Amino acid sequence: MKHSHFLISFLLISSLAFAQKKTTTSAIIIFDATTKIDKLPKAENRAVVAAIHTKKGTVQFEAPIKNFSFSNPKIMEHFNQKGWMNSEEFPVAIFSGVLSDVNAINFRKKGTYQSSVTGDLTIRGKTNKITAPVTFEIDNDNMILANCSFTIKLADYGIDGPAVGAGKVSSEPKISVKAEFKQ
pLDDT for 60-86, tens place per residue?
Answer: 999 999 999 999 999 999 999 998 999
Confidence of residue 3 (pLDDT cuts 50, 70, 90): very low
Alpha carbon distance 45, 17 (integer Å): 30
Per-residue pLDDT averaged across 121-141, rounded?
A: 96
Q: Mean pLDDT for the chain?
A: 89
Q: Give the CATH number of the domain where residue 167 resides.
A: 2.40.128.110
Per-residue pLDDT averaged across 21-35, rounded?
A: 95
Which residues fall within 8 angstroms of residue 35, CB to CB, at 6 or more apart? 41, 167, 168, 169, 170
Confidence of residue 15 (pLDDT cuts 50, 70, 90): very low
Confidence of residue 88 (pLDDT cuts 50, 70, 90): very high
Of 179, 125, 131, 163, nearest to 33 by C-alpha is: 163
Count of domains forming the chain: 1
For 119, the domain range is: 21-181
pTM of the model as a whole: 0.87
The answer to the question of residue 81 being in a domain is: yes
Of 79, 156, 77, 80, nearest to 122 by C-alpha is: 156
The answer to the question of residue 12 being in a domain is: no
